[in-house]
């Protein structure tokens, strides 16, 4: 099995040609589940890119002005909390909530990466706690997204079918893309919790804990998508 | 098929973690720049950097064998074709809209959402 | 070299089901799932066949069915197209053939994740039920099946006046989204099995072409169906909560709708970004099946195996960048025609390589005109026929006068309707003995073949002429006859009657096929392990039909490609893949 675990010592072409022309497995040393997850992620990439390409097309096509996301998503730092006034007036900060959400998701990716590492060290306790931490970060991300939706719908009157600031598609794409991403995050949280529980119950003791890496792949992908949404939807 | 899997020092994850924080901070800061080519390039550059680091380090792509790397990274090239052509197409559609329907109009509040099939004729 | 790799499936025991339900209904055995897929696809295909017969009758004798009005006609067209393309062809070629052939031909015990594979079938069944639910609903409510045409172009799809614009379209889009989920679950399994679960000695370049076709087609499916999924979601939102992704500001029936600013062309682009690969999702497995059938029944190795593989790969890659040749008259960017016509014509090169290689395989071969071989030969002829009209339509200048005429109808029915169906029939006649242990009846099979093959030509040849005359597709007869009595020239109408008669005969002939399937299952001649003298691994299972786990104790080892037929200097006329090479003397 040394062949499978020594990565990329040959040149690009030799290595690729050898693996693709070998028998039994094409991706040497890659468990079935991991191969399947990678291919699924390619498919999912196409879904999100199609959403984003549609967003680009429609945004470039509409003749109504596009609302300025940096104003729409501004959040004011409150000037008082629980009756204690510490500022003269609320300070509006553009994209504050989104920035926090971004940092949270990146942190969750960090803990996830650590969990994978713990898995390969067979440190079950570390895996469980880090995965649960990841899930907690993910859940708080979804919570903030819910708050953001609430703010947009109730306070700013933005609807999927229209808004008072410009092109109707602004709301349509916002709710659809972030909603779809939020669904992925929520599914990821459930997936993480289930895997963490099963690790705790000892379901994977006989394996090499690849399941943690597979879960991690999915979770990092969700983070990856957010990178694109953050740049193309909120900042652009 | 038992392998040692992807084992790397924790240090590198922490490093990338910090790096991603910095990149995010920079792209967030780009929000305070003026609109223009520079801002757009900053946004895109840091988007791609962040994505590359997540895929390469967190998803361990850097340490995978080339066979897998190619299999994952080549198919999305089709999306670049779609992206390019749709950008050209959208540009053209916008031009025809302006050409045939006049200058871009000022926003007018959208009518309240009424469902088309429930509307009764006059 | 390090120690040899051990197939993972030799290290994990297979879990055998205990109950009848677990064996035959909620089975995780890929062969049972293949049969479930096949039967469901055929059943839903029969619905589409009946719909096409109704449309033909309407066109020939407009007064014969007063209950079949313009709305019903449009709905029938939509349902017929969608069912045939997605729920029959895709599901049969990948769901049934993919499930049956991939593990057997790769030497695997089962798919890599049998449970997900089983789920794939049940979700597919749900999508079929959601799709067909519209018919029972029609009886009790005023829900109509959507009549937007299988391409579902907005804005007409969801504006009043199109049948089913209220709820029929919702059911259709929901069903499509569910189908895509089902396909993804199955497709991930096929690909992972092919890539990661082959047996010893089975390199990619020793795989039978059937597996290659299924492999590339499945991969195309996994990256093309997302575009359909996305457009289905966006159109559902347009329809249900009034967003304007695809809907521009529009006046419908004298009313300004609440939509504004959407881009209808975007839908067409997304749809065909899925739709063109879809053509090859259907065609590539058919190519593979036909390559194997021709080689086996001509007792000769396939000509240019490597070229055949690379042609499949090249077609797969190119199919992703030709989509807008379906949209020459849609009003897209005028320069796109140049780009897409070029890429489209380039696809003809690998396709022609395949056709030449089939022909050269037949050259001086020991051709056995068995029923599967007849169907394979018919496939090649039909595919050339439909492919060449495709070259005409791929050119912008010729496409413009011909678009939306019966010429297009004839073209795509030949190339992606009849051809893959012929390949499916050929495949069924070929693999039925392995699946059931009994042969299909030869005489009935030949009758079925000749009626179907000649019949389809009688149906679709005249349609090319109708197209030249300018008869538009999707038109209902009487409505035009009343308004414009001279709309159809007499010759066109007479041809329509002629075509309908042929279509009724061909449709009825499929009863022969079903009779053959059922009758032979109980009373057919015993087949034995390898009735055709074929080389690929599925004919080398210890049991016929193969039992759960396929290979008994030991996985087979592969020593050669699947096409050693009539090798000079060998004793037997075929050498199966698991026979070791002789030591060099």
d(CA A47, CA B87): 18
Mean pLDDT of A109-128: 91
Mutation for testing the C interface, residue in B4, B107, B116, B118 having most C CBs under 10 Å: B116
Cross-chain residue pair A160–C2, CB shorter than 8 Å: no
Tokens of C514: 């079903």
pLDDT at residue A3 greater than cutoff 50: no
In 10 A of CB C490, how many CB atoms?
8
Q: How far is C39 from chain A (nearest CA, A)?
A: 27
Residue B79 sits at the chain A interface (C-beta within 8 Å): yes
Q: A29: closest CA among B67, B73, C189?
A: B67
Residue of A nearest to C555 (CA): A24
| β-pair partners for A80 | A85
Interface check for B21 against chain A (CB to CB < 8 A): the answer is yes
Is A72 a member of any domain? yes
Q: Is C556 part of any domain?
A: no
pLDDT of A11 over the 60 cut: yes
Measured in whole angstroms, the distance separating CA C136 from the mean position of its chain's CA atoms is: 27
Instruction: Please indicate if any CB of chain B lies within 8 Å of the CB of A33.
Output: no
Number of domains in chain C: 3
Instruction: Look at residue A157 and tell me if it is in a domain.
Output: yes
Q: Do A113 and B13 touch (CB under 8 A)?
A: yes
List the domain boundaries for chain B: 7-63, 65-100
Domain limit, last residue, from C528, C543, C562: C528
Mean pLDDT of C318-347: 93
What's the pLDDT at C485?
Answer: 63
Co-location of C84 and C174 in the same domain:
yes
Is A176 inside a domain boundary?
yes
CATH number at residue A180: 1.20.120.80
Instruction: Give the pLDDT band (50/70/90) at residue A1.
Output: very low
Token pair, residue C512, equals: 């022969």
In the predicted structure, residue A9 carries a pLDDT above the cut 80: no
Residues A56-100 pLDDT 10s: 999 999 988 888 888 888 877 777 777 777 777 777 788 888 889
User: Given this model, what pLDDT does residue C227 score?
Assistant: 96
C127-173 confidence digits (pLDDT tens): 999 999 999 999 999 899 999 999 999 999 999 889 999 899 999 99
pTM: 0.93
- Please report residues of C whose CB lies closer than 8 A to that of A32: 8, 112-113, 192, 196-197
E strands in chain A:
75-77, 80-81, 84-85, 91-93
pLDDT at B27: 86
Number of domains making up chain A: 1
* Distance of alpha carbon C205 from alpha carbon C209, whole angstroms: 9
Q: Containing domain of residue C392, as a range?
A: 369-528
Same domain membership, residue C41 and residue C174: yes
Domain that holds residue A153: 12-77+92-235
* Pick among A42, A45, A54 to test the C interface (most C CBs inside 10 A): A54
User: What are the pLDDT digits (tens) for A131-144?
Assistant: 999 999 999 999 99
Q: Do C322 and C393 fall into the same domain?
A: no
Choose from C1, C5, C199, C556 for mutation: most chain A CBs within 10 A.
Answer: C5
Is residue C376 domain-shared with residue C325, that is, in the same domain?
A: no
Would you call C255 and B85 a contact, using CB atoms and an 8 Å cutoff?
no
Residue B3: predicted pLDDT = 47
C198 and C208 co-located in one domain: no
Asked whether residue A85 is assigned to any structural domain, the reply reads no
CA distance C285 to C420: 8
Write the pLDDT tens digit of every residue in C192-236: 999 999 999 999 999 999 999 999 999 999 999 999 999 999 999
Measured in angstroms, the CA of C428 and the nearest CA of chain B are apart by 32
C258, closest residue in chain A (CA to CA): A161
> Per the domain annotation, does C572 fall within a domain?
no
Residues C183, C41, single domain; the answer is yes
Tell whether the model's pLDDT for residue C552 goes beyond 90.
no
Helix (H) or strand (E) run with residue C447 in it: helix C442-469
CA dihedral B104, B105, B108, B111 (to 10 degrees): -70
In the predicted structure, residue B115 carries a pLDDT above the cut 50: no
* pLDDT at residue B107 is higher than 60: no
Assess if residue A6 is contained within a domain: no
CB C524 within 8 A of CB C435: no
ipTM of the complex: 0.94
Long-range CB pairs of C397-404 (<8 Å, 24+ gap) are: C399/C325, C399/C328, C399/C329, C400/C328, C400/C329, C402/C467, C402/C468, C403/C328, C403/C329, C404/C329, C404/C472, C404/C473, C404/C474
Give the tens place of pLDDT for each residue, C12-33: 878 888 888 888 889 999 999 9
Residue C497 lies in a domain: yes
Strands A84-85 and A80-81: antiparallel
Q: Which residues numbered 155-194 in A keep a CB inside 8 Å of some CB on C?
A: 160-162, 167-169, 171-173, 176, 180
Q: A 93-132 residues with CB below 8 A of B? A: 94-95, 99, 102-103, 106-107, 109-110, 112-114, 116-117, 119-121
Question: A101 to chain B, minimum CA–CA distance in Å?
Answer: 11
Q: Evaluate whether residue C1 is within a structural domain.
A: no
**pLDDT bracket for residue C422 (50, 70, 90):** very high
For A163-177, what is each residue's pLDDT tens digit? 888 889 999 999 999
Q: The tokens of C127 are what?
A: 């999508």
Please check whether residues C90 and C198 belong to one and the same domain.
yes
Q: Are residues C167 and C225 in the same domain?
A: no
pLDDT category of residue A215 using cuts at 50, 70 and 90: very high
Contact at CB, C257 and B115, closer than 8 angstroms: no
* Interface contact B28, partner A, CB < 8 A: yes
Q: Are residues C61 and C178 in the same domain?
A: yes
**A82 lies in a domain?**
no
- Is C255 in a helix, a strand, or coil? strand
**Min distance B120 CA to chain C CA atoms (Å):** 9
Q: Is residue C536 scored above 60 in pLDDT? A: yes
CA distance C68 to A60: 44
């Amino acid at each position: 099995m040394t062949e499978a675990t020594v990565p990329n010592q040959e040149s690009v072409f030799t290595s690729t040609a050898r693996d693709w022309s070998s028998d039994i497995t094409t991706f040497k040393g890659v468990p079935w589940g991991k191969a399947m997850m990678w291919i699924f992620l390619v498919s999912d990439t196409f879904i999100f890119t199609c959403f984003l390409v549609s967003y680009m097309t429609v945004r470039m096509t509409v003749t109504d002005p596009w609302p300025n996301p940096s104003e729409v998503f501004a959040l004011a730092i409150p000037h008082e909390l629980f009756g204690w006034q510490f500022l003269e007036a609320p300070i509006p900060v553009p994209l504050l909530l989104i920035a926090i959400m971004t940092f949270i998701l990146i942190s969750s990716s960090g803990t996830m990466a650590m969990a994978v590492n713990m898995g390969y060290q067979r440190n079950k306790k570390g895996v469980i706690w880090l995965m649960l931490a990841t899930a907690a970060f993910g859940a708080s991300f979804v919570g903030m997204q819910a708050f953001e939706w609430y703010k947009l719908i109730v306070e700013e009157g933005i609807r999927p079918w229209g808004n008072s600031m410009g092109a109707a598609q602004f709301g349509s794409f916002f709710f659809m893309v972030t909603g779809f991403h939020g669904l992925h995050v929520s599914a990821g949280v459930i997936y993480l919790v289930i895997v963490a529980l099963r690790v705790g119950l000892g379901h994977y003791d006989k394996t090499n804990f690849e399941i943690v890496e597979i879960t991690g792949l999915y979770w990092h992908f969700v983070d990856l998508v957010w990178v694109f949404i953050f740049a193309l939807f909120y900042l652009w | 098929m038992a392998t040692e899997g992807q084992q790397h020092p924790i240090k590198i994850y922490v490093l990338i973690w910090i790096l991603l924080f910095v990149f995010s901070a920079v792209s967030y800061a780009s929000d305070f720049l003026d609109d223009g080519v520079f801002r757009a390039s900053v946004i895109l550059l840091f988007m791609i950097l962040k994505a590359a680091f997540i895929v390469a380090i967190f998803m361990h792509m850097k340490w995978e064998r080339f066979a897998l790397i190619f299999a994952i990274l080549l198919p999305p090239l089709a999306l670049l074709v779609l992206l390019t052509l749709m950008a050209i197409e959208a540009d053209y559609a916008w031009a025809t809209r302006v050409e045939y329907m006049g200058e871009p109009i000022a926003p007018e509040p959208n009518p309240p959402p009424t469902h088309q099939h429930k509307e009764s004729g006059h | 070299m390090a120690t040899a790799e051990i197939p993972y499936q030799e290290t994990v025991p297979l879990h055998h089901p205990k109950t009848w339900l677990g064996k035959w209904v909620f089975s995780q055995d890929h062969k049972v799932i293949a049969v479930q897929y096949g039967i469901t696809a055929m059943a839903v295909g029969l619905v589409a066949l009946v719909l096409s017969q109704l449309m033909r009758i309407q066109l020939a004798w407009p007064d014969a069915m007063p209950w079949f009005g313009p709305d019903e006609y449009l709905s029938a067209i939509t349902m017929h197209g969608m069912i045939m393309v997605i729920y029959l062809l895709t599901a049969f070629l990948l769901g049934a053939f993919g499930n049956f052939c991939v593990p057997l031909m790769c030497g695997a015990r089962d798919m890599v994740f049998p449970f997900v594979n089983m789920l794939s079938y049940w979700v597919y069944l749900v999508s079929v039920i959601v799709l067909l639910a519209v018919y029972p609903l029609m009886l009790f409510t005023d829900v109509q099946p959507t009549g937007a045409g299988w391409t579902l172009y907005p804005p007409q799809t969801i504006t009043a006046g199109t049948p089913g614009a209220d709820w029929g379209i919702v059911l259709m889009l929901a069903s499509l989204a569910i189908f895509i989920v089902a396909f993804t679950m199955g497709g991930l399994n096929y690909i992972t099995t092919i890539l990661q679960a082959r047996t010893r000695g089975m390199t990619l370049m020793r795989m039978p072409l059937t597996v290659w076709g299924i492999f590339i087609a499945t991969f195309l499916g996994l990256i093309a169906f997302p575009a359909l999924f996305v457009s289905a979601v966006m159109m559902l939102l347009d329809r249900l909560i009034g967003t304007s992704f695809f809907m521009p500001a529009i006046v419908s029936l004298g009313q300004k709708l609440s939509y504004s600013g959407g881009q209808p062309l975007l839908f067409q682009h997304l749809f065909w970004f899925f739709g063109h690969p879809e053509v090859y999702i259907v065609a590539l497995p058919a190519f593979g099946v036909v390559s194997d059938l021709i080689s086996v029944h001509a007792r000769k190795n396939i000509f240019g195996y490597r070229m055949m593989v690379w042609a499949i790969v090249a077609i797969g890659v190119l199919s992703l960048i030709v989509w807008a040749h379906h949209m020459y008259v849609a009003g897209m960017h005028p320069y796109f025609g140049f780009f897409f016509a070029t890429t489209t014509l380039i696809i003809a090169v690998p396709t022609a390589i395949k056709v030449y290689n089939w022909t050269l395989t037949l050259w001086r071969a020991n051709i056995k005109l068995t029923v599967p071989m007849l169907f394979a030969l018919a496939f090649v002829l039909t595919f050339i026929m439909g492919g060449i009209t495709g070259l005409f339509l791929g050119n912008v200048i010729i496409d413009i006068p011909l678009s939306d005429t019966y010429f297009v109808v004839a073209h795509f029915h030949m190339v992606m309707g009849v051809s893959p169906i012929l390949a499916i029939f050929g495949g069924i006649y070929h693999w039925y003995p392995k699946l059931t242990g009994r042969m299909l009846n030869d005489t009935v099979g030949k009758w079925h073949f000749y009626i179907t093959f000649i019949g389809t030509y009688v149906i679709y040849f005249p349609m090319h002429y109708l197209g030249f005359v300018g008869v538009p597709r999707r038109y209902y007869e009487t409505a035009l006859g009343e308004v414009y009595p001279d709309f159809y020239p007499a010759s066109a109408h007479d041809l329509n009657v002629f075509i309908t008669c042929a279509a009724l005969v061909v449709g009825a002939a499929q009863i022969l096929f079903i009779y053959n399937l059922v009758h032979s299952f109980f009373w057919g001649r015993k087949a034995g392990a390898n009735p055709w003298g074929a080389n690929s691994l599925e004919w080398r299972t210890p049991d016929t039909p193969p039992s759960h786990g396929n290979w008994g104790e030991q996985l087979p080892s592969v020593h050669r490609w699947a096409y050693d037929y009539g090798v000079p200097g060998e004793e037997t006329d075929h050498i199966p893949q698991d026979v070791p090479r002789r030591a060099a003397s």
